[in-house]
Amino acid sequence: MKYDATLYKLAHLRYITIVKTVYNQEKLVMKNKILLLAIIGIIFSCNKDENTINPTPENPELLILPIVVHIIHGGENIGQGSNLSTERIKEQIRSLNDDFRRKKGTLGENNSPISDDSFIQFKLTEVTPNGNPTNGITRINYFENIPDKDVNDRPHDWLPKIAYWNPEKYINVWVYGGFPQDQLLGLATIPTTNLPGLEAPLQALGDGIMINALHFGKSDMDSGANLGKTLTHEMGHFLGLFHVWGRYEGKGCQQQDDHIQDTAPVAGPIDNCDNPPLACDGKIAPVNNYMNITYDKCLNVFTKEQIKRMRYVLENAARRKNLTSSNTIDR
């Protein structure tokens, strides 16, 4: 089965096919590419899969993963425009941890009986590939490092030409300011392992997560994606989760499958978190699930089965399992 490794999160303008970069006015013609790559070429089963993952134990091992954040900015001073402040970056990592740890009193809290603390968390790395101390943030002026790229290249093919640390030791997160608000929010590559849907090798030059700088961290921007949940969503993909409707959107109830038992089946994104509709099985649709696409304020749930799948990936998958023991952070 051949399919592309790139996934996407697009909020409410999912069908925009042309993205202008604000940096040099060039047009990055997506031509349905990023939109369709995520949904082409996979055959869905009508049934939920046999799940071979063992249950998560009562007190699972805490898995801490190193992140390097590459700020690919347009030449602004630190704290201005796409050259996001160090505090905003640190706040985004805190919020990512709040979500993954279902921390009380934060936007990651929920009281869903099918949710749990994942015991997965993240830390900005403390050591560069050369062994020097770092705060886990690199800042690179795009104009001084314009990569050799074709207009049809995907971000995961050219971002690594600007900055890329060993993906066996670091989760590379590129924060790129060249996309407009509310269009392309983020992208992530998926892991390779024996779980359904994850069998293919990496199909991009770089392994990691790209986040539109406008949607990285909290801001007062007038957008449904201004609370830092895009990174949580993309991290879900990076650790092996699909959208709650699977990889095909709008195919009806019979063709969806996210390979997760405890997410009620839906045919596509669910917008209304105040009055969620019913799912295909008559249960409440999983509108609050991080792997749904809707307003950030609605999102606060990873289910137990999703957590099991992510932990399985971290224990078994190529390009993921070494992250849990990477010596680039103090544990």
Output the CA–CA distances (angstroms, integers) from residue 11 to 15, 25, 184, 270, in the order listed: 10, 23, 8, 11
**Residue with Cβ nearer Zn ion (9 or 215):** 9
**Residue with Cβ nearer Zn ion (28 or 291):** 291
**Residue with Cβ nearer Zn ion (9 or 311):** 9
**Residue with Cβ nearer Zn ion (165 or 238):** 238
Q: Does 9 bind Zn ion (CB under 5 A)?
A: yes
The site for Zn ion, by CB under 5 A, has a size of: 1
Of the candidate spans 5-13, 62-70, 76-84, 151-159, the one that interacts with Zn ion by CB under 5 A turns out to be 5-13
**Residue with Cβ nearer Zn ion (16 or 146):** 16
Of the candidate spans 6-14, 65-73, 143-151, 211-219, the one that interacts with Zn ion by CB under 5 A turns out to be 6-14
Shortest spacing between CB 186 and Zn ion, in angstroms: 8
Q: Does 215 bind Zn ion (CB under 5 A)?
A: no
Shortest spacing between CB 24 and Zn ion, in angstroms: 27
**Residue with Cβ nearer Zn ion (9 or 309):** 9
Of the candidate spans 1-9, 214-222, 302-310, 318-326, the one that interacts with Zn ion by CB under 5 A turns out to be 1-9
Of the candidate spans 2-10, 171-179, 216-224, 253-261, the one that interacts with Zn ion by CB under 5 A turns out to be 2-10
Closest CA to 124 of 187, 178, 175, 194: 175
Q: Does 304 bind Zn ion (CB under 5 A)?
A: no
**Residue with Cβ nearer Zn ion (37 or 124):** 37
Shortest spacing between CB 294 and Zn ion, in angstroms: 12
Determine the residue with CB nearest Zn ion: 9
Of the candidate spans 7-15, 42-50, 73-81, 218-226, the one that interacts with Zn ion by CB under 5 A turns out to be 7-15
Shortest spacing between CB 282 and Zn ion, in angstroms: 25
Binding residues for Zn ion, per CB under 5 A? Answer: 9
